[in-house]
Each structure stands twice: as structure tokens, then as C-alpha cells.
Chain A
């Protein structure tokens, strides 16, 4: 009576295979038509076939929804009535949402800065090391783990057992008990709990910063460094005065990339605290507003605020890209 595992998987598998085959077939057919067409038609067809799908998808799937969310942020909860800036007022005046905004800012400040700093430090330490690749791999490895997986891992590390007579299986609290400190309910006590959540993302992103900065450091020409050495400068000053300025561009890229990732992260807060205990961030609250409070107006407003936080970065990135292009 009940579906066996196979019965549930079989139609999905069929869909998968057919979809892949259909996709391949369509592409093949389009190419066929394209190359067989007359030269005059080809002039047009090539745009339609090469550029068309991507542009169409982006227009319909990214730009239109983004605009519609913007519009919905000026409407009420069911998107039927216009309410002007009411939702924005709500976002900045309600204490609970102010906390959400405050938390998001904390994340955006600490994750990029600390990850980059530690990443830079490790890149520096391993720059001339032999067999540094194992160390780097280990630090980089958390990037391969999903945020949810990381949340499980760290929930386990932060485990708190309130009953002193029961054993403590969380690593940090076991150490605390061992040295005689009062165990801490890491995920519960605001405002420090936000920092313990931030630590999880730092754990993940540091490897990213390290890899990029390490590659950038290796790109710094040997002669420049040596020239500085002739002056008898110490390692540290050499690093600060010479290497760092040369990789400044990369440092900025790392900071901005991690910032964007931090703003979007929803999984960690949702999985570890559900947004409770004053840990909520915009990415998660937006979801709650839309689907728990059933308020699309307020949910959309939060999404727009999130986007506004990212706009300076876009502007900067585009500007950088144009500069580079003209340099070539």
C-alpha cells in the first residue's frame, strides 16, 4: 500500500533522465537549425540561440521578480492595497526588527573582517612553509560543507546540558566543567549567542580568504620583496610595507565577496536557533515574515533592505571592472 523507496524514486529518476535528454536534444536541434540557416538568418539566429536563453531567464527570473518584490514592499500583506512607506517605517521602528537589523550589521562587520584577518595571517604563516598544502586543505575544507551541516557540527560543539548530573557531551562545555567554570548555554544567552553563530560562518569563510590571499601573495614578484630586504627590513615590516599594499585589490575583493555571502546566509540562524533568542538576521526574518506572519509586504521590505545593503558593493565592483577594462 505504502510507496516503497523505489516507487517514490522511479518517477523522479524518469523525470531526471528525460529532462536531461530533452535539454540535449533541444540544444542539438537549435544548433542544427542555426548552422543550416541562410547567412542572413544566421545573423539573427545566433543572438537568439546563444544570448537569448540566458537573457530571457535573467529577465523573467531575476529582474522581474526583483522589481515585483520592490513593488510588494509598498503594498500590504496580501499585496492588494498600497501602503506607501509604512512597511519601511515598521522595519526601522519596531524594536524586534531593530534587533534583527542590528544583528545583521554585526554579522556584516565581523565575518568579513575576522575571516580575512585570520585568512591573511595563515597565508602569511604558510607562505614559505614546506608541505603547507595539507594545512591549507584542512582550513579550506569547511567551505565544502553545507551551512546546514556546519550548523549541526557546531550545535554539537556548543551543546549545553542543564542538568549537572547528566553527562555533558558538548566539547566546549565539557572543557568548562573540567576546569571548573560554569557551563554556558551558548545559543541561548543574548547578545553573545549571535557571536557564537558568527563564529560558525567565520570558520567556513576563513579558508576562502586564505586561499585567495595566498595566491595573491605568491603573485607578488620576488624582486620587489628582495629589494625591500636589502634595506634590512624585518619580515613583519616587509609584509606590511610591501606585500600588503600590493595585494590590496585582492583583499578588497575578498572582503566584498564574504560580505555578500554573509548577508545572504539564512541557514545557520534558522538551523541553530530558529531565529529565537534575539539572534535573527534579515535573511531569516524575511522568510518568517512572508510565511509565518503571512505578510508579503513586510517580508518584501526586508528583502529590499537587504539589497540596499549590497548596492554599494555592486557599484564598487562595476566601477572596478570598467577601470580594469580601460586599462587593457
Chain B
């Protein structure tokens, strides 16, 4: 009797186990799935009122697209805000996945088979490292970029003739942040040459101003050190010519060339100067955003950083971006151009991000396309603290004075160059260049040793 019952239950269990296994397999696939599709949605030819502009992106209701990026708060909040209307009209959910360890984890994700739908690469060099895994741009995307951007920008996202990454935001890096009120109160003038800048720094250091002449911070989690590379690049443009800069980027001039040594020595005049900076090695453990906060609370007079810093100082430190004439705004911050060697040489260093796709799903392609539209670019710029190289961008939309100036510089510079470390291969530009500059500051590593170390990691090809 017992045997009989057991056999029946055993058969039942055996069937159940097979079913369970099958279900486990299905559950595993559904794991990463989207919110259940709206099975009773109306025919998609009906465009809801006010959503006409999004007609091109319809047909993907219920889909979810993940954007993997280095951008976290507070800038990410504005991005998410800019997507709201798109999400509502198209039914696509955009998952913003911000991670400061992006440059490291993207490799783990690709190797591990969990690559994101879209990835925002802050470096074209890093994007090119993944060219084998990225999905080439669709014809629609290519056409949109041809219309809305200059060929240079399309080029940055192109690897070996295939176009992968559409430009997203841009920034201009040749800026020094300062407080107009502080400068006015102390009677300091905006320097227009490098020598004037050094003289001003000496003046501030010698005066009884409570703070330091300069402040800096290069900590950024797994990306620590990038802020120091910006100094190198800006100075390379000023102390060497554009051709040298280009040779530096593609390694036709080795990284440890004497010309580069000249540049790093100039950088050291400010960055490694205790009179200007206070505690130099602490720069390596101060986050790049905290480094900039010094101009808001008066603990320093100047801070060299790109145009996007404004958004962070406003969001996290309660600053207000003003124009240089507003010298009576407490907590008001503005920028002046990081001077060249002479007053009439005004090279500009800039950077930008590029959106690459690892998935060819229609919803992903739709989002990638949407991000290149003038509509989105204008909507995003209107939220403040951001601009892009999109030709359809109406400069009147740019909310704050700093970014308005940045766009002007971008469009009118005598020489414009893209951030070198971002163009270099990922191993260097998002790897050894960062870590060696960190060592240069944190451990007072010798100039030549730093350059030699970086040159040694350049991939042989």
C-alpha cells in the first residue's frame, strides 16, 4: 500500500521537477524583462494629443531601455527630467543607471554577457575599445547625426570607418571658476595671459586672503585622476602647437617626449605648488566636485574645471551661476577663460560624451535616435548646466551665462581640440594616464617617471 502511494507521488514529483526546471529556465529569461507589455493598448497609429513630435519613436510601448553611464546626481536628475515627456508619449521606460566605476564595470558587463542597451562613453577612446561589441549606427541615426552635427563630432564616434556613437553633451574645459564678488572685494583683475595668472596667484598667496589661491580635487572613485589630465591637455594646447597635440594623441610623438615634459613642468607650477594649493597630496583624496566648492565658500580663489561644474556647484553646494559683472552676489560663481601664453592665442579644449548601443532592439534604437534630435537637446539645455554640439541647439535656450559663453567658445575658437585622454586608447586615457597623474600628485612622483610609465602602457599596434 505504501509502495503504491509512493510510486504515484513520485511520478507526480518527477513531472513537477521537469516542469520546475523548465519554469526556472523561463524565469531566468524573464528576469531581465520589462514591465509586462500592455496587451490591450490601442492601435499605435493613434498619436496622443501633444505627442506629435514623438511620432517617429512609437511602436515600442512597454519596452524598457537601460542607459549605463558615469553620470550620477545631481546631473542625472536633470537627464531623467528631460525624458519624462518622451516616456509618456512613447510608453518606453528609460532606466538611468549611473555608476562612477563605469569605465571598469563596462568591461565586466560586456565580458559577462550583461551589456547595457545604451552606454554613454565619456571617452571616444574607450568606445573604440568596444567596437567589436557595439551595434553600428542605423541609417536613421547616421542621417540624423549628419544633419545635426559637424563632421568632426561624427568622427569622434567613428571607429575604422564604421559609425557607432552619436554625440550627447559637450563641455568646454578651458575655464577657471571664481567668485566675482571675491575678486571685486579684493581688487583682483582677471588675468589674460599665463604669466599674469601666475602673478595673480603669487599676489593672492601673499595677501591676507583667508583661503588659498587655488584649490583642486582629482578623486573620483575608480576614475580618480581624470581632472589632472585636463590640466595637461589645456597646457599642451598653449605651450605647444596643435600639430604637436595631435601627435601626442595618436602617439606618433611618444608620451615621454621632452615637449610633454615641458608641459607637465608648467602644470606643476600651480598644481604642485604648496603656496597656492595648501596641502598638495590631499588633492588626490578630495573629490573633483568638492575641489570646486572652494570658490563658493571662499576657501580658495580659483579652480580650473570644465563648464559642467556649474551644474554640480548649484545642485550640491547652493551656488548661483552669474555673469562676471554680478560682483555683489554672495555665493555667485562665474568663469574666465583659462589664459594662453599670449592674449591673442585662445585655444579651446573640450570634451563630450557618445552614446553607443549594445542592443539592436527597436526601442533602444528609438532612444538613441531621440537623443540626437534638436527637440531633446533644446529641452535638456533649458534645464540648465548643460549644452551640446547639436547644431539645432538654440543658444537662447541655454539657461546659464557660463554655458552660453562655452557654446560661443566652442563655435569660435582659434584652435579647438577634443580632450586628449578621451581620445587615447582606453588603457591609457581611462587607465594609466589617470593613475599616473594621481601618483604624480599624491606621491610627488617625478615628472619623467610619470611620463615613462604612461608611455610603457601604450598598446602596441
Contact = CB atoms under 8 A, between A and B. Distances in A.
Physical contact A–B (CB less than 8 Å): yes
A61 to B, nearest CB: 15
Given A188-B442, A291-B111, A292-B103, A15 B10 contact: no
6 contacts: A1-B93, A18-B20, A22-B17, A32-B14, A95-B449, A185-B285
A187 interface: yes
A160 interface: yes
A194 B405 CA distance: 46
A291 to B, nearest CB: 4
Interface in B392-442: 426-427, 430-432, 435, 438-439, 442
Contact of A274 (B16, B95, B221): B221
Contacts of B254: none
Contact of B27 (A7, A11, A29): A11
Contacts of A163: 299
Size band of the B side of the interface?
Answer: 35 or more
Nearest to B442: A277
A94 B436 CA distance: 13
Contacts of A21: 20
A2 B282 CA distance: 40
B206 interface: no
B312 to A, nearest CB: 20
A276 B24 contact: no
A276 B228 CA distance: 15
B33 interface: yes
A32 B13 CA distance: 10
Contacts of B435: 275-276
A257 B163 CA distance: 53
B207 interface: no
A120 to B, nearest CB: 36
A15 B31 contact: yes
Task: List the 3 closest pairs (A to B, CB-CB), nearest first.
Answer: A25-B17, A162-B282, A22-B20
Interface in B2-47: 10, 13-14, 16-17, 20-21, 23-24, 27-28, 30-31, 33, 35
Interface in B65-123: 87-88, 93, 95, 103-105, 107-108, 111
B197 interface: no
Q: Point out which of A19, A22, A28, A95 has the most chain B C-beta atoms below 10 A from its C-beta.
A: A22
Interface stretch (B144-152, B154-162, B451-459): B451-459
A29 B20 CA distance: 12
Contact of B457 (A1, A25, A293): A293
Contacts of A32: 10, 13-14
Contact of A278 (B31, B222, B443): B443
A160 B221 contact: no
A276 B224 contact: yes
Nearest to B220: A274
Interface string A87-101: 000000011100000
A295 B222 CA distance: 17
Interface of B: 10, 13-14, 16-17, 20-21, 23-24, 27-28, 30-31, 33, 35, 87-88, 93, 95, 103-105, 107-108, 111, 129, 221-222, 224-225, 278-279, 281-282, 284-286, 299, 426-427, 430-432, 435, 438-439, 442-443, 449, 453, 456-457, 459
Contacts of A95: 449, 453
A62 interface: no
Given A7-B35, A274-B224, A294-B427, A188 B282 contact: yes
A29 B33 contact: no
A3 interface: yes
Contact of A187 (B10, B285, B431): B285
A280 B456 CA distance: 18
Contact of A185 (B111, B222, B282, B427): B282
Q: Point out which of A3, A21, A294 has the most chain B C-beta atoms below 10 A from its C-beta.
A: A294
A272 to B, nearest CB: 11
A12 interface: yes
A189 interface: yes
Contacts of B17: 22, 25-26, 28-29
Contact of A15 (B14, B24, B93, B427): B24
Contact of B281 (A26, A189, A293): A189
Nearest to B92: A1
A128 to B, nearest CB: 47
Contacts of B30: 11
Contacts of A3: 35, 93, 95
A25 B13 contact: yes
Contacts of A290: 107
Nearest to B225: A276
Contact of B21 (A26, A275, A295): A26
A293 B431 CA distance: 6
A277 B103 contact: no
Contact of A188 (B20, B221, B225, B285): B285
A278 B439 contact: yes
